Structure 1
Amino acid sequence: MNYWNDFTHYGGSTVMLSGAIVVTLWLIAGRAWKMALWWCVLFGSGLTLVLVTKLAFVGWGVGIRALDFTGISGHAMRAMAVMPVMLYLVLQKAPRRWRMAGVLVGIGFGIMIGISRLVVHAHSNSEMISGCILGAIVSIGFIAIAERCAPPTVNRWLIAISLMAVFSTSYAKSAPTQRWLTSMALYVAGHERPYIRSTWKMAPPRAASSSDPAVDELLLEEN
């Protein structure tokens, strides 16, 4: 279990958002303006969908009980979106078969992050699968566009240094993104208590938030 707890951290916002920023910097440094724009649009759209589904649940109890769905897994989405693209760009000067092999490795990494979210009981199957699918749409969509563009020329030292910087963030304390999201949802919804999975699954929507602040505090870490 400790292995999975450590591994799942690589899909967190601290590491994967750093990776997304690095991808953007590589494209800008390589003067691949069109690719940089598409990357920002696709990845930003993926993040927005994750945010919307989580805000909708925490603030209003919007989810799918039959599928135990309370929001798209951000860890799975980010890992599946970022890692295939990073490896694709790292292998830009390699033969195409090696670039595609790198993409497959990145997809495998994203799937493993998704599995880790199940093992640590952070998400349901539907939330993990939807995160992986959304992330794959982002990365494969970007790569399909990149295949039709002139490849960016990025200094290998810039790539090496930035990769070390990205993965060194895995030692940093995780950003309290769930707490920020909860605060935002409650502010927008005008509610005092967040909707939480355990009571939402058993109660009708109007009664799905906990009346116990201590329970709320404990369960805020779920997603």
Structure 2
Amino acid sequence: MSRWHLITFFGESTFLLPCAVFLYVWLRWHGATRVARHWLLAFTLTAGAVLASKIAFMGWGIGSAAIDFTGFSGHSMMAASILPVLLYLAMPARRPGLSALAALAGVALALAVGVSRLALHAHSPSEVVSGLALGFLVSVPFILRHGVPRGPLTMMLASAALLSMPLLPVSHMTGITHGLVTEMALFLSGRDRPFERGDWMSRAPCAVCPEAAAVSAGAAGGTAGGAAADAARVVRCATARCPA
């Protein structure tokens, strides 16, 4: 396993989703009902935005070819929303400076997860940056607010969760949520296969493609004899990578 695969696992939903549930239960258990409600709302809305963006592209091809965006990076969002909070809670409440450093370490680890998604060619820069931004909108306000309960049990559980990550069977856990999202997108859209990033190139001829210009000129002239050749040029143009 490469170091990038190990780093990217720190954003794996199959591991971090239970951590998010743990945070909510911990807050409710200690009577911080309002904080727990805000955490649940912020995390649910953010995770929902990631899910919706992925389903929209896989099912209907909704995205942006201009910025190479097919949906928010789920690994980046999960890492940025949960890892800084876990590391923050793992520090003693009486050591605010140490807690701040731990939170910054969580931010750095989340950024490393984002870089790993780029290194593994799993996402584009726009998808990673937007995913990280969504995640930090959840974790940073949580860390900055007052009244978040902490204690020895929190420290023990948070530390154990982080330490156990590299020891889990990564190869059997990665990609589970992606498969579920793909099945959901196909069910909702009724398609046989999901849209993929390369499908953008085949949906229309490139505006600056010489073949496309030739086809347009031929169509304007109304020459029937060149129709077959024009159709062939359209196919070649639509499947070629646009130089722009």
Match of 1:204 in 2: 203
Q: CA deviation at 1:162?
A: 5.2
Match of 1:179 in 2: 179
Residue 151 of structure 1: how far off its partner (Å): 3.6
Write out per-residue CA displacement over residues 140-199 of structure 1, whole angstroms, 9 at most, x where no aligned residue.
12223x32xx34143x14531454246535514215111111111111112222101122
Gaps of 5+ in 2: 205-244
Q: CA RMSD in A?
A: 2.0
**How far apart, in 1, do the equivalents of 2:86 and 2:46 lie?**
16
Pairing 1:15–2:11 present: no
| Cα distance in 1, alignment partners of residues 163 and 90 from structure 2 | 15
Aligned-pair distance for 1:113?
A: 0.4
8 A contact 1:42–1:142 mirrored in 2: no
Q: Which residue, 164, 167, 170 being the options, matches 1:168?
A: 164
How has the CA–CA distance of structure 1 residues 165 and 142 changed in structure 2, closer, same or farther, with 3 Å as cutoff?
closer
Deviations along 1:84-113, whole A, 9 cap, x unmatched?
111222235133332222221111111000
State the identity %.
36
User: Hey, what's the Cα distance between the residues in 2 that align with 1:169 and 1:96?
Assistant: 26
**TM-score normalized by the length of structure 2:** 0.75
User: Relative contact order: is structure 1 or structure 2 higher (C-alpha 8 Å, sep ≥ 6)?
Assistant: 1
Structure 2 counterpart of 1:35, which letter? V
Call closer, same or farther: CA 1:58–1:130 in 2, change over 3 Å: same
TM-score, reference length from structure 1: 0.82
Deviation per CA, 1:111-158: give whole Å up to 9, x if none.
0000000011110000000011110111112223x32xx34143x145
Gaps in structure 1 of 5+ consecutive residues: 206-223
CA distance in 2, matches of 1:36, 1:79: 19
- Rg: which structure is higher? 2
Distance 2:191 2:101 in 1: 48
Partner of 2:113: 113
Confirm or deny that 1:38 pairs with 2:35.
no
Residue pairs, 1:1-223, within 5 angstroms: 2-91=2-91, 93-144=93-144, 146-147=145-146, 150-154=147-151, 156-161=152-157, 163-165=159-161, 167-168=163-164, 171-172=168-169, 173-174=172-173, 176-200=176-200, 202-204=201-203
